[in-house]
Amino acid sequence: MSGIPPFTPHELPETSRHKRAEVREFLMQQQASGTEFRSNSWTRVDRAFSEQCGSRGYIGATWPKKHGGQDLSPVEQFVIIEEMLAAGAPVGGHWLADRQSGPQIIRFGSERAKRDILPEIVAGRCCFAIGMSEPNSGSDLASVRTRATREQGGWRIEGRKIWTTNAHNAQYMTVLCRTEAGAQRHAGLSQMIVALPDPAASISPILNLADEREFNEVAFDGCFVPDDMVLGEPGEGWKIVTSELALERSGPDRFMSTVPLLREASALPVSGEAEVQRTIGRAIAHLVTLRGMSMSVSGMIGEGQSPNLQAAVVKDLGAVLEQEIVEIARDLIEEKASAVDDRLIRHFTRTTLEAPSFSLRGGTREILRGIIGKALTP
């Protein structure tokens, strides 16, 4: 039996203590100045907040200095990220660019893409959208039908993407397209960067359960992409997309989305009772374990490995915990209804409406369990 490879422990370096204290201080100041903090904050865009993060070096923190980064290790960056998520800071304006699009440009982008885009990301002025899913291609991503056709100096895109988070706020969108007709499913795909807005890319809202515009449908009608906005070589799209998956699935955003709600609900006066303490304690124990696993994945990525399997385990267990925390908050709120203010009710209501999506976005539960199951099959 092949089995799941180990989660090698990774310690936080001593220097991360100072970073943690500094980030906490910054977040307290932001909260005091009226910035809204709440659960599931990594999809919420607040331009001014992102620019503040940029000016403090909190975006692209692991990138080389020549690209505007701080050259920190992934585990040091982990500290910045977990502080932001534990507080519920509105990091959505730079989140995807920091977590996956920027690193992809550093690895696979042209000199022009590096020169034009990376400084904007680091400054907190650049929101990225990820165009993978299509109306009939979600889990089965290799079946994408959006097509890019060769033209003098570049490519022309025709097709539709769906569930594109924050496309309406984005300066750029990466688009997975088929560039070779009749090629095998995983061959002939390419990743392109489309600058937005573009008259040939129409972005229509899709409202989520909370009646908010979080994602979109994006239709490309002859949208032109110059050659130097293709990531890697044409035809390498599948390799590039799959290399994103460990980045996309293992970070603290995959188990900490509802921590701000847990913090608020556990501060209710009922939290002193034994049964309640046990429930909160169990959730915290799960959080601590997942944190160790996620840090381990982060360390492995830093060493140049692609721990896609371990990332799938973190994402699957993380989504279960994020959803369980909403139920724990419900019990606490019901128990102490008289002590609950309107703000907490609003926070709870929105998180309840967002929670079902936690086990869909970034790969559904069934798909992740399929990946894990295959690894355990001789």
Ligand X SMILES: Cc1cc2nc3c(=O)[nH]c(=O)nc-3n(C[C@H](O)[C@H](O)[C@H](O)COP(=O)(O)OP(=O)(O)OC[C@H]3O[C@@H](n4cnc5c(N)ncnc54)[C@H](O)[C@@H]3O)c2cc1C
Site string for ligand X, 114-143 (x = CB under 6 A): ----------------xxxx----xx----
Pick one of 230, 240, 367, 371: the residue that binds ligand X (CB under 6 A).
367
Examine residue 370 and tell whether it contacts ligand X (CB under 6 A).
yes
> Which of 359, 326, 322 is closest to 344 using CA atoms?
326
Please identify, using beta-carbon distances, which residue of 212 and 227 lies nearer to ligand X.
212
Closer residue to ligand X in complex, CB, 16/359: 359
Minimum CB separation from ligand X for residue 234, in Å? 20
Contacts to ligand X from residues 276-335, by CB under 6 A: none
Report the relative pairing of strands 154-162 and 172-178 from DSSP bridges. unpaired
**How many residues sit in the footprint of ligand X (CB under 6 A)?**
18
Q: Give the helix/strand (H/E) hosting 160.
A: strand 154-162
For position 364 contacting ligand X by CB under 6 A, the verdict is yes
Q: Which is nearer to ligand X, 264 or 316 (CB)?
A: 316
Q: Closest approach of Cβ 160 to ligand X, in Å? A: 11
CA distance 110 to 338: 59
Pick out residues in 197-236 that bind ligand X (CB under 6 A). Answer: 215
How many CB atoms are closer than 10 A to CB 375? 17
For ligand X, the closer of residues 10 and 161 by Cβ is 161
- How buried is residue 20: exposed, middle or buried, by Cβ count under 10 Å (0-12/13-18/19+)? middle
The residue within the footprint of ligand X, chosen from 38, 44, 94, 361 (CB under 6 A), is 361
Q: Give the nearest distance from C-beta 28 to ligand X in angstroms.
A: 29
Among 164, 250, 296, 310, binds ligand X (CB under 6 A): 164
124 φ/ψ angles, rounded to the nearest 5 degrees = 80, 20
Angle between helices 308-335 and 259-266 in degrees, nearest 10: 30
Dihedral sign from CA coordinates of 192, 63, 110, 184? negative
Q: Which residue has the tokens 């967002």?
A: 354
Distance CA 132, CA 137 (A): 8
What is the smallest separation between the CB atom of 110 and ligand X, expressed in angstroms?
23
Counting DSSP H helices and E strands in the chain, the numbers are 12, 8
Whole-angstrom Cα distance, residue 291 to residue 351?
21
Q: Does 8 bind ligand X (CB under 6 A)?
A: no
360 binds ligand X (CB under 6 A): yes
Cβ atoms of 166 and 97 closer than 8 Å? no
Q: Is 372 in the site for ligand X (CB under 6 A)?
A: no
Within residues 32-51, the interface with ligand X by CB under 6 A covers none
Encoded tokens for 219 = 């239709």
Residues 6+ apart with CB under 8 A from 174: 101, 104, 128, 129, 130, 131, 191, 192, 193, 194, 231
Nearest residue to ligand X, using CB?
138
Residues 48-107 that bind ligand X (CB under 6 A): none
Shortest distance, position 371 Cβ to ligand X, whole Å: 10
Q: Smallest distance from the beta carbon of 75 to ligand X, in angstroms?
A: 26
Which residues of this protein are in contact with ligand X, per CB under 6 A?
Answer: 130-133, 138-139, 163-165, 215, 357, 360-361, 363-364, 366-367, 370
